Chain A
Amino acid sequence: MADTHGAVAEHNPNLRHHFDTMEQQFDSATLGMWVFLLTEIMFFGGMFCAYMIYRSMYPGAFASTSMHMDPMFGAINTAVLIVSSLSMALAVRAARLGQQQALQILLLVTIFFGLAFLGVKAFEYHAHWVDNKVPLFAGHWDYSNTKDFPNQAQYARPAQILFCFYFFMTGFHAVHMLVGVVLMLTIFMMARRGKFGPTYFTPVEISGLYWHFVDIVWIFLFPLLYLIGRTKKLI
Chain B
Amino acid sequence: MHPVSSVRTYVLVWLTLTILTFVTYYVAQIELGEWNIVVALLIAFFKMMLVILIFMNVKAESPLTKLFVGAGFFWMVLLLGQVAIDYISRTWMPEGKMW
Q: Which residues of A does B touch, CB under 8 Å? A: 1-2, 5, 23, 26-27, 30-31, 34-35, 37-38, 41-42, 45-46, 48-49, 52-53, 56-61, 71-72, 74-75, 78-79, 82-83, 85-86, 88-90, 92-93, 96-97, 158, 208-209, 212-213, 215-216, 219-220, 222-224, 227-232
Contact = CB atoms under 8 A, between A and B. Distances in A.
- B contacts with A: majority SS: helix
- A contacts with B: majority SS: helix
Interface of B: 1-5, 7, 10-11, 13-14, 17-18, 21-22, 24-25, 28-32, 36-37, 40-41, 43-44, 47-48, 51-52, 54-57, 62, 64-65, 68-69, 71-72, 75-76, 79-80, 83-84, 87, 93-95, 98-99
Given A31-B64, A45-B75, A56-B99, A216 B48 contact: yes
B14 A75 contact: no
A48 B55 contact: no
B47 A219 contact: yes
5 smallest CB-CB distances across A and B, nearest first, come from: A1-B1, A223-B40, A227-B28, A86-B14, A231-B31
Contact of B48 (A2, A27, A219): A219
Most A-side CB within 10 Å, residue of B24, B56, B57, B84: B56
B36 A229 contact: yes
A79 to B, nearest CB: 5
Nearest to A62: B95
Given A2-B1, A52-B84, A229-B36, A223 B44 contact: yes
Contacts of B93: 57
